[in-house]
Structure 1
Amino acid sequence: MSRIAYVNGQYVRHADAAVHVEDRGYQFADGVYEVCEVWQGNIVDVPRHLDRLDRSLKELRIDWPMARSAVQFVLRQVVRRNRVVNGLVYIQVTRGVARRDHFFPSDDVAPSIVVTARSADPKAAQAQAEKGIAVVSYPENRWPRVDIKTVALLPNVLAKQNAKENGGKEAWYVDKDGNVTEGGSTNAWIVTKAGVLVTRPAESGILRGITRQAILELVAREGLTFEERPFSLAEAYDAKEAFVTAATTIAMPVTRIDDRIVGNGHPGTVATRLREMFHTATDLQAV
């Protein structure tokens, strides 16, 4: 079956999907995006993702390309037309197509929107979670507004490629003070030897992850001991367990950081438990 994409008002074959060469997302990375998990025929946490999309758009002063309800309809249609039961759906909005100029284009330039979806194998993801992943630390080198989910991901690409070339699945950014900020495409967590769950505050310096929010609700619901504070790379090396969270990974155990084995080298019980319970703390919208 051919994959289907939605591009500026039309459902087209994925192989034929295209945007104009002067789309500002291509020319300037002048756009934002969201990724939602699709789980057992449901799109996960659509309201939260669209709330964050709204915030990102407002921060960059980009208008919605269509009504919010219409975006929800398109998300469901793209998932349905691609017959995705488990996987992800991606939405990207840019400032639109205009002559290349650093200044914003005139108000009559409409924002561009692209939505795609693809399937993923939940068994493969679970097998990875039962083994755990390695992360590789990388100096923080991004602009300060990482709280906006923009398509300007070149620093993330370089960090994640460095991780791959050094045997890792994910990168962990480390700031000038030696503290872990977040992953290249995930939020970062540790569990101390005293059993305290720790993650960095989301007021600044990291993206306020939607999966992160759901995990925090689970933590509160289950009465886990928790601290929202910075943690250093050295503290992470010494942690009892570690994991990362994102729509594409849920809660994924980390068993190695750089050349250090985390805990006993196996996925920890906290990460495993949160992963198992995750969808009980999410909003599920049937396709």
Structure 2
Amino acid sequence: MKPFCFADGQIISTEKASIHPMDVGLIRGYGIFDFLRTVNFQPLFLEHYLDRFIASAEKTFIPLEYSRAELKAIIQELIEKNHLKEGGIRMVLSGGVSKNHFSPGKGKLFIFAETLLFPPMEKYEKGIKLLTLEYVRPIAEIKTTNYALPVWDSMRWKDAEAEDVLYHLNGMVSESSRSNFFIVKDGQISTPDSHILMGITRKHIMKLACKVLIRPISLAETLNADEAFITSTTKKLLPVTQIDDREIGNGKPGPVALDLLEKFKLLEKELCF
């Protein structure tokens, strides 16, 4: 965590940021957040992240008392004050304090600047393993702070040498705990159409790929895909080469995933350099 954050309506020392102990964000796990990266001191895809954050506040009935222009100004000031050339910006809006300690109240806005480490290069070169988990995130289209199940479940990932999970329900896959999911079969890229967060990296990967089918995807066809990969702010694009004990394709990162990763890196340079 970087030394300066936004809390209580001003830029303060991060270590002084605090939240009321009866905030429903704390006692009920109800709140929203979003996370974006800085590249060469530029907030990557900022407008799209603000679109989602503002929409999430409206959908969760948590008052957001800052305009888009004010949020942009705060983020820019934090980037400069923390000298955040390559890092992360985390916006958090708590559920607030309410009379019944249950309903949403007046949320408290925090914006943090963070050091960001990407997965080691080995994972991009060899691919990663996912573990299947029967689950669908509540109100999946909103980026809430409710990560209780995957945080609890993550204790088994290390022993299984897995990067993350792949959610599925009634035989249909949706997403990873912090990433969107894609498969490739006979050159055709597909991604799930429901019970997912509309990821910003997902959005730009789909533009780069041009032809992506957004449709229901079964776990059975996922296991028989030629390639699979996940996308997220903090991972960009990571090839998936194993799900549970099943190799995907030939067990190596495929050409479609690797090509899209290179195109995404070029897009970053075009936008931020």
Letter in 2 for 1:55: A
Distance 1:211 1:83, change over 3 A: same
> Aligned residue for 1:216?
206
Cα distance in 2 for partners of 1:37, 1:136 equals 27
- The corresponding residue for 2:145 is 151
| Matching residue of 1:268 | 254
Aligned to 2:124: 129
* Residue 54 in structure 1 maps to residue 54 in structure 2: yes
Q: Does 1:195 align with 2:181?
A: no
Taking only aligned residues, the RMSD between alpha carbons, in angstroms, comes to 2.4
TM-score (norm 1): 0.86
Specify the SS of the correspondent of 1:183: coil
Instruction: Give 3-state SS (helix, strand or coil) of 1:266's partner.
Output: coil
Q: What is the identity, as a one-letter code, of the residue corresponding to 1:215?
A: I
Q: Paired residue for 1:243?
A: 229
The sequence identity of aligned pairs, in percent, is 28
Shift of 1:277: 1.3
Q: Is the 8 A contact 1:157 1:184 kept in 2?
A: no
Deviation digits for residues 29-68 of structure 1, max 9, x if unmatched?
2211101022232211111111111211111112223111
Range with greater deviation from structure 2 (37-46 or 2-11): 2-11
Structure 2 unaligned runs (5+)?
Answer: none
Contact 1:3–1:82 (Cα < 8 Å) also in 2: yes
Q: SS at 1:78's partner residue?
A: helix
Deviations 1:102-152 (A, max 9, x none): 2344xxxx4201111222245x54443122211110011533x11111111
* Amino acid in the other structure paired with 2:208: L
Name the aligned partner's letter for residue 28 of structure 1: R
Distance 1:276 1:7, change over 3 A: same
Q: Say yes or no: does 1:71 pair with 2:99.
A: no
CA separation of 1:117/1:174 partners in 2, compared to 1, >3 Å: closer, same or farther? Answer: same
CA contact (8 A) 1:180 1:232 kept: yes
Structure 2 contact 183–190 (Cα < 8 Å) conserved: yes
Q: Is the 8 A contact 2:90 2:111 kept in 1?
A: yes
**Cα drift, residue 74 of structure 1:** 1.4
Structure 1 residue 181: deviation in Å? 0.8
Distance 1:2 1:186 in 2: 24
What do the CA deviations read for 1:80-119 (whole angstroms, capped 9, x no partner)? 32222222111011232345522344xxxx4201111222
What secondary structure sits across from 1:148 in the alignment? coil
Q: Distance in 1 between matches of 2:111 and 2:122?
A: 29
Q: 1:72 to 1:127 in 2, by over 3 A?
A: farther
Residue identity matched to 2:227: E
SS of match in other structure, 1:54: helix
1:167 aligned partner: 161
Give distance in 1, aligned partners of 2:40 and 2:163. 25
Give ranges in structure 1 of 5+ residues lacking alignment.
none
SS in 1 for 2:174: strand
Distance change >3 Å, CA 233–CA 81, structure 1 → 2:
same
Query: Residue in 1 aligned with 2:263?
Result: 277
Q: CA deviation at 1:242?
A: 0.8
Give, in whole Å, the separation in 1 of the partners of 2:18 and 2:245: 42
Letter of the structure 2 residue corresponding to residue 233 of structure 1: L
Structure 1's 130 and 86: CA in aligned 2 closer, same or farther, altered over 3 A?
farther
Following the alignment from structure 1 to structure 2, what is the Cα–Cα distance between the partners of residues 284 and 239? 32
Greater mean deviation of Cα atoms: 205-214 or 91-100? 91-100
